[in-house]
Amino acid sequence: MTIWSKFSAHLEIATCKLLCAVAVFALAGQLHAQEVTTIPVNGMKLESQLLQLPQTPVTQPSEKTSITAKITDDTVSEAASDVIGEGDQLLVTVFGQPDLTADVTIGESGVITLPLVGTVEVKGKTATEIASIFAKKLEQGQYIKNPRVSIKVIQQLSRTFSVLGEVLRPGRYPLLGQISILEALSLAGGVSQKAEKSLRILRREAGKPASELQEYASIKLELDASKLPPELAQKIQPNDVLFVPQQKNFYVYGEVRRPGIYPMEEDLNVMRVLSIGGGITDRGSARRIIIHRKTENGELREISAGITDRVMPGDVVFVKERIF
């Protein structure tokens, strides 16, 4: 082999090695470029992705956090805006201080005793106002800094009303908000078949005990959906008593075609009674009618009556036979 041939062979081998090295270097460069696009430089891209994730809320409570405010709001009764009165039962709590919890009932004096601060006048105040007074006294006495006081009305007997008499569910009901007389009768199940078509409202005057009730108004119960009395829409007051009296009756006997017991009507007279009783029989006499009436002292009187005489509740109208 000549010298030139050996030189050409070495040159060809060197050229192949150079080309292989260039190819390997190019491939390594591409792989490095791909890694740079996926791996964040100095963690900047990773931090930006973490900032876009939803953050976990802080659960440590503090005096100004919404968690504390929510707890306070949930413990306040819906009746916190109502005036507290005699017989009401309150649950007083101080957030974070279970030893200061108190269960108190309002007495006739309107004064309650609370932990650390002693007596507090609550008559005529709402639950929110009482909570504010208690918190202020705790802070002024340097017992607690920034106290959070809540009051829950457990039982509010001072805001009740009663429905008595001829109703399906007589009893005492809580006065929640503004309730009309018609709504109160509905809560009591409505009137019974023996009910009189009238309603008496008994109400306590201001400054007098709850046991002293006086008649405030009397309303006719014309429960026709087409013409409800506007008086039934008026709002009742705390401690009102709605009384539906039993229907008053009269009696007709003797020589009438349909003797029996009948409900009273307005401006009822003997002529109307005879008509309700089916009229006088052939043996009866319109001139021999007697009314048996009970007086206030319980005595029974016998009154000779004409067809135009008035008939009172409880009267017994008796038609006698003709003499001849």
Predicted confidence band at 15 (pLDDT cuts at 50, 70, 90)? low
Question: Cβ distance 121 to 114 under 8 Å?
Answer: no
Question: What single letter denotes the amino acid at residue 205?
Answer: E
- Asked if residue 202 lies in contact with residue 214, where contact means CB atoms within 8 angstroms, the answer is yes
Query: Residue 221 and residue 218: Cα distance in Å, rounded?
Result: 10
pLDDT exceeds 70 at position 46: no
Average pLDDT over residues 188-211: 82
- CA of 69: how far to CAs of 56, 66, 166, 225, 297, in Å? 20, 5, 48, 47, 67
Residue-wise pLDDT tens digits, 116-166:
988 888 888 888 899 999 999 999 888 888 999 999 888 877 788 999 999
Q: How far apart are CA 285 and CA 160, in angstroms?
A: 56
Comparing CA positions, the residue from 289, 298, 223 lying closest to residue 256 is 289
CA-to-CA separations, 218 to 139, 229, 250, in angstroms, rounded = 52, 12, 22
Which of the 8 DSSP states describes residue 41? G
pLDDT for 271 equals 95
Rounded to an integer, the average pLDDT of 90-94 is: 92
pTM for the complete prediction? 0.56
- Residues 212 and 200: their CA atoms lie apart, in Å, by 15
Largest CA distance in the chain: 181
How confident is the model over 274-300, as a mean pLDDT?
92
In the chain, % of residues over pLDDT 90: 36
**187, pLDDT greater than 60:** yes
Residue in the block written with tokens 């008595």? 164
**1 has pLDDT over 90:** no
Neighbours of 238 (CB within 10 A): 17
Hey, which residues does 304 pair with through a beta bridge? 290
In the β-sheet with 89-94, what is the strand arrangement from edge to edge? 97-105, 89-94, 149-155
Amino acid at 3: I
Mark out the alpha helices in the chain (DSSP H runs).
3-38, 44-51, 66-75, 127-140, 181-187, 270-276
Confidence of residue 315 (pLDDT cuts 50, 70, 90): very high
Radius of gyration of the chain (CA): 46
Q: Is the pLDDT of residue 191 over 70?
A: yes
Is the model's pLDDT at 48 over the cut of 50? no
**313 CA to centre of own chain:** 40
> For position 12, what pLDDT does the model report?
60
**Of 23-32, 70-79, 151-160, 226-235, which range is least confident?**
70-79
Greater confidence (222 vs 279) lies with 279
The rounded mean pLDDT for the chain is 77
> Residue 34 has what pLDDT?
46
Reported as a single tens digit per residue, the pLDDT across 204-249 is 876 666 667 888 888 888 766 667 778 888 898 888 999 999 999 9
Amino acid at 45: K
Q: How confident is the model at residue 178 (pLDDT cuts 50, 70, 90)?
A: confident
Query: Does 100 have pLDDT greater than 50?
Result: yes
Mean pLDDT lowest among 16-30, 228-242, 265-279, 289-303? 16-30
Q: Which is more confident, 106 or 85? A: 106
Weakest-pLDDT range from 63-67, 232-236, 298-302 = 63-67
CB 138 within 8 A of CB 160: no
